[in-house]
């Protein structure tokens, strides 16, 4: 089968389209013919880092990256009840290997692709969608009318977070640059702040929740705008111990959330996509041959919504 093979860590040009063996199925797995994949900042971070690659693959080289896939079941091992050959599915892969024509996936991780969305829209959702879903649904207790402040609302994670927060009944204040204002408002945000021209900590206060996808000073100032007893969840590792002390002083719950690979969450997300409540916004779709261009785009940190590749 065709796959992008990474022989060594480095830039986008290190991803080499080549041939390799189809994966053999273990009990509980189906073989998915991949039709679309999506790219996240993590794809580029792992591509560039020997340590991160070793964390997943040990000493194995070359490796196949790629976490977000959508496609069609073409073969089944035993213990795969609930999924049949021909089913359209999507998944967040536990150990990557998605940049390929075929991938073996444990059915625990699979969700049926809703009929009303394309393979690209499905592939866009798992990593970014669940990174927004898990903190908002499992990490916060959002009630109707609560105010949530969402940073990076025009990005992959943020654009799902706005939609999820609205679904949960929150009033959403969201940041992006001015050029993405209309996009963020179109997602359902009630108020937009252009973080490049406004100091948000000077124009707002007493929000109930903050969802931070930026970190650093953005996170630090977020502690200034949340009410005592409020909750901030960041998805960016915190290196500054002062922030924890500042949050504690103000009686604010501050924590870091790391994405967990979880099929139940993906199936809950898929249900809302099927109902048209959650949508993937694809700013660009690339042919499989243009993997390097997709990686170069995600590294700009300016991607609006999501990007996907058709396999
Ligand atoms: N903890 C975890 O498990 C986990 C999981 C997934 C992702 N992440 C991390 O979460 C971050 C976001 O991921 P993503 O997929 O959403 O990235 P992305 O799609 O690349 O985000 C791009 C967006 O970020 C916005 N942005 C950049 N700087 C900003 C700022 N200072 N304030 C507000 N918006 C800003 C840009 O908007 P403008 O162009 O309008 O500025 C752009 O729309 C990444 O650092 C990623 O590595 C963590």
Residue 135 Cβ contacting ligand 1 at under 6 Å:
no
The predicted model gives 157-173 an average pLDDT of 98
Q: Residue whose CA is closest, atom 35 of ligand 1? A: 152
Tokens of 247: 């949050």
Structure tokens that stand for 136 in this block: 């908002």
Residue from 40, 210, 213, 257 whose mutation best tests the ligand 1 pocket (most atoms within 8 A of CB): 213
Could you tell me if 221 and 204 are in contact, meaning their C-beta atoms sit under 8 angstroms apart? no
Whole-number pLDDT of residue 83: 98
Does the Cβ of 218 fall within 6 Å of ligand 1? yes
Average pLDDT, the chain: 98
Report pLDDT for 70: 99
Q: Is the pLDDT of residue 240 over 90?
A: no
pLDDT tens digit sequence for 137-162: 999 999 999 999 999 999 999 999 99
Cα–Cα dist 67/52, whole Å: 14
Query: What pLDDT does 239 receive?
Result: 84
Q: 236: CA distance to ligand 1 center in Å? A: 9
Beta strands of the chain (E only): which ranges?
A: 2-6, 15-19, 29-39, 68-76, 88-92, 102-106, 110-112, 147-150, 171-176, 191-194, 207-212, 226-234, 253-256, 282-287, 306-310
- Asked if residue 297 has its Cβ within 6 Å of ligand 1, the reply is no
Between CA 4 and CA 148 the distance in angstroms is 40
DSSP labels for 264-278?
HHHHHHHHHHHTTSS
pTM across the whole model: 0.98
User: What domains are defined for the chain?
Assistant: 2-125+280-310 (3.90.180.10), 128-256 (3.40.50.720)
Per-residue pLDDT, averaged over 114-136, amounts to 98
In the numeric block, the tokens 């943020």 are attached to 158
139 lines ligand 1 (CB under 6 A): no
- Is the minimum distance from the CB of 38 to ligand 1 under 6 angstroms? no
CA 214 to ligand 1 center in whole angstroms: 6
Please state the rounded mean pLDDT for residues 114-126: 98
User: Phi first, then psi: what are they for 282, rounded to 5°?
Assistant: -100, 120
As a whole number, mean pLDDT of residues 218-232 equals 97
């Amino acid at each position: 089968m065709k796959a992008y093979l990474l022989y060594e860590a480095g830039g986008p040009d290190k991803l080499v389209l080549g041939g390799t063996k189809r994966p053999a199925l273990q009990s509980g797995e189906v073989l998915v013919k991949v039709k679309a994949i999506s790219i996240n900042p993590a794809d580029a971070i792992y591509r560039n880092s020997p340590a991160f690659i070793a964390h997943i693959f040990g000493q194995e080289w070359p490796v196949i990256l790629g976490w977000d896939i959508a496609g069609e079941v073409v073969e089944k091992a035993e213990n795969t009840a609930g999924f049949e050959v021909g089913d359209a599915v999507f998944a967040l892969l536990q150990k990557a290997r998605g940049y390929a024509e075929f991938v073996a996936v444990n059915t625990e991780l699979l969700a049926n692709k809703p009929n009303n969305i394309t393979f690209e829209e499905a592939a866009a959702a798992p990593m970014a969608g669940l990174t927004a879903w898990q903190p908002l649904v499992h990490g916060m207790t959002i009630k109707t009318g609560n105010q949530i402040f969402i940073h990076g609302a025009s990005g992959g994670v943020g654009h799902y977070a706005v939609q999820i927060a609205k679904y949960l009944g929150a009033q959403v204040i969201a940041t992006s640059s001015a050029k993405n204002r209309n996009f963020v408002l179109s997602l359902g945000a009630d108020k937009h702040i252009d973080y490049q021209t406004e100091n948000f900590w000077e124009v707002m206060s007493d929000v109930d929740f903050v969802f931070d996808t930026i970190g650093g000073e953005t996170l630090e100032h977020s502690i200034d705008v949340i009410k005592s007893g409020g909750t901030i969840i960041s998805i960016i590792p915190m290196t500054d111990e002062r922030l924890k002390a500042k949050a504690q002083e103000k009686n604010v719950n501050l924590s870091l959330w790391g994405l967990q690979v979880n099929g139940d969450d993906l199936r809950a997300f898929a249900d809302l996509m099927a109902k048209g409540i959650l949508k993937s916004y694809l700013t660009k779709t690339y042919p499989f041959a243009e993997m390097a261009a997709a990686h170069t785009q995600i590294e700009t940190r300016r991607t609006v919504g999501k990007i996907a590749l058709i396999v």
